[in-house]
Structure formats: structure tokens, C-alpha cells
Amino acid sequence: MIKNFRLSPLYLFFSVFAALVPLNLFAQPLADTQFITHPLHPFSYQQNDQLNGFSVEIVKAMMKNKHVNTDIKMYPFNRAFQMLKEQPNTTLFIIAKRPDREQSMKWIGPIIISDAFFS
């Protein structure tokens, strides 16, 4: 049950991307980068066999701007997170920026800041 919902940068910080790739992600060929997401409505979700959501649209627009044609694939969060940790040149969006993840990933974003929590 959600006990409280407030917007604050101190509790939960969502980013468009979290990646274990070098900081120069966009200096390398984007076609070599795997873009993955997980179901998190309204940011990313599947409807009629198509990926939708405003974070998906942001990534698609970035790829279009760079003239890159690559697929975005959706996986359950646990699988996507494991792929992020194990596979080079992998970008996962959208993911919460937490202290235990902050140093092991490269971050681009945010697209939302929230301190919604469960109790």
C-alpha cells in the first residue's frame, strides 16, 4: 500500500538509462549497443505487440537523431537487470538510481524524480 506520495529528489531518482558501458556511449557506434527496457507503465509497456511509453519515445527519438536503426527489446525487470550487468554495450531504461547501483553504472537522465514509497 502506498502510504505517501511526494515529489522529492532525495528518495527515488529515476533515470532514462543506466548502463555499464563507457561514458562515451554516444561516441561509439550505437548500432553496437543493445537497448532494453522492462514493463513500467506509463514509461515503457507493450500494447498490440508494440513498445510504447514516453521513455521508449525518448529513446527512439534519440536514435532517429543519430540515424541509428536498432530494436528496443522488453524483458522482465530481473532478466533485464541481469543482462545489464553481464553483457557489454547494454543500456537499460528506465531504472531507479539507488546508492548501491550508483557507482557500478553510467547514468543519463533523469526523466522523473519521485519519493513514492511503500510501507
Average the pLDDT over 31-56 and give the result: 91
Q: What confidence score (pLDDT) does residue 3 get?
A: 45
Average pLDDT over residues 31-42: 88
Strand ranges for 7-111 from DSSP E: 12-15, 17-19, 34-37, 45-47, 50-52, 72-74, 90-92, 95-97, 106-108
2-13 confidence digits (pLDDT tens): 444 444 333 333
Rounded to a whole number of angstroms, the distance between the first and last alpha carbons of the chain is 7
Q: Across residues 81-85, what is the average pLDDT?
A: 92
Q: What is the pTM of this model?
A: 0.69
**Mean pLDDT of all residues in the chain?**
75
Mean pLDDT over 89-95 rounds to: 88
Q: How confident is the model at residue 101 (pLDDT cuts 50, 70, 90)?
A: confident
